[in-house]
Amino acid sequence: MSKIVLEHIDKYYGENRVLKDINLTIEDGDFMTLLGPSGCGKTTTLRVISGLEKPQNGTMTIDGKTMIDAANAFYEEPSKRGLNLVFQSYALWPHMTVFQNVAFGLKIKKLPKKEIEERVMDSLRTMRIDRYRDRYPNELSGGQQQRVAIARAIASSPKLLLLDEPLSNLDARLRIDMRAELKRLHKETGTTIVYVTHDQVEALTMSTKVALFKAGEIAQVATPLEIYTNPVDIETADFVGSPRINLIDGKGIYDGETLKVMSPLGNYTFAKDSLKPGETIPEGQEFDVVIGIRPEVVQVAAREPKDEEGYFEASVYASQPAGSETIVTLEANGTQFLALQVDLRNYEMNQQVFVSMDPARLNVFNKETTRLIRYAEAKIKEDEDE
């Protein structure tokens, strides 16, 4: 069991407050990713969990046992928190073989030789590098060295595995391979993982939960699908997703039952039950809104579909074929927006096309508060029975 609860954590460096009242619960077995741009506080939070940093305020428990009680100046030693930390650098001993690197911590604990052999080989097999047991780090690729570092961390069967941007030094292909390995590792071991990254693709593809950091605060904690589909505010929407989300200015009128939105890309009416409770929505008067439209929601047709409504005309500003997908920049009513076509398409510059969007998949934000006020539906394609 390894449930982590952080409450009211504040961290200062001099007068600079880098963590601001952090409250976060990481359930046992979670793959929790701390996501955000550089300087937002995610790595500092990881270091607080590990014991490498001491916050000035707040408490932290692991499985109900107090690890931090800042008010009473109590900070449990890192070695007694039942966790292992993998850094951005591999930190392997160059004069030791792969086996010796992974076995090093177990030897420090003075475990029996046979148990060390079994644990090391189990962790090497888990990371699929058992055939490299007798090689030295300089004989391995970057991805293989990173696997050794992770194998060393899991060899002691930690309750918690903390990973601080471990894939940032790898090339794009190796990052994809290592994301698959980490996801498989989490599934097989059930270890609680706390993972720090600025790479949204890593967060969306591997995590069970994502905590999105912004300027020392947590903006949103949710599943990857929820953060992508319904970001809490405009800044979060703009940060998460590639290609970027379309943010279109418009006007809204709410009569207490329905929200009517007018924009250059069409007018839409949303029922009350799709609006987010507790958010500020002016009633009975026009107010500024921003519509969030993911590029894959935009459907493009070269000819106007017959017997179908909801299409409007647009022109192609630029087309970017990328093999498996095509990104198209479109213009309509003086507004540019992106469409993502999941196949290879050929569009000519200034070509006239017809566009539609499913209203159920649109976000609406209050421009003044920047907060989400209308939920979008997540559409997940299920395998069809044959």
386 pLDDT band (50/70/90 cuts)? very low
- How far, in whole angstroms, is CA 210 from its chain's centroid? 5
**Bond prior to 158 in cis (omega within 30° of 0):** no
pLDDT of residue 306: 76
Q: Are 48 and 6 in contact (CB under 8 A)?
A: yes
Q: What is the pLDDT of residue 195?
A: 94
Question: Residue 17 is encoded by which pair of tokens?
Answer: 């407050």
Threshold 0.95, pTM exceeds: no
- What's the pLDDT at 385? 47
pLDDT tens digits along 25-70: 999 999 999 999 988 999 999 999 999 999 999 999 999 999 999 9
pLDDT category at 188 given cuts 50, 70, 90 is confident
The percent of residues in the chain predicted with pLDDT above 90, rounded, is 67
CA–CA dist 300, 329 (Å, integer):
11
Q: Is the pLDDT of residue 379 over 90?
A: no
Long-range Cβ pairs for the range 317-322 (8 Å, 24+): 317/349, 318/349, 319/345, 319/346, 319/347, 319/348, 319/349, 321/345, 321/346
Residues 211-265 have pLDDT tens digits of 999 999 999 999 999 999 999 999 999 999 989 999 999 999 999 999 999 999 9
How far is residue 349's CA from residue 352's CA, in Å, rounded to a whole number?
A: 9
Query: What residues contact 122, with CB distance under 8 A and at least 6 apart?
Result: 155
- The full set of domains in the chain, from first to last, is 4-235 (3.40.50.300), 246-374 (2.40.50.140)
Inter-CA distances, 336 with 294, 331, 351, Å: 13, 4, 14
Q: How many residues are recorded in the chain?
A: 386
Nearest to 109 by CA among 147, 82, 129: 82
- Of 67-81, 99-113, 295-309, 362-376, minimum mean pLDDT range: 295-309
Give all strands of the β-sheet with 266-271 in edge-to-edge order: 266-271, 258-263, 246-254, 287-293, 363-366, 372-374
Q: What percent of the chain is modeled with pLDDT above 70?
A: 98
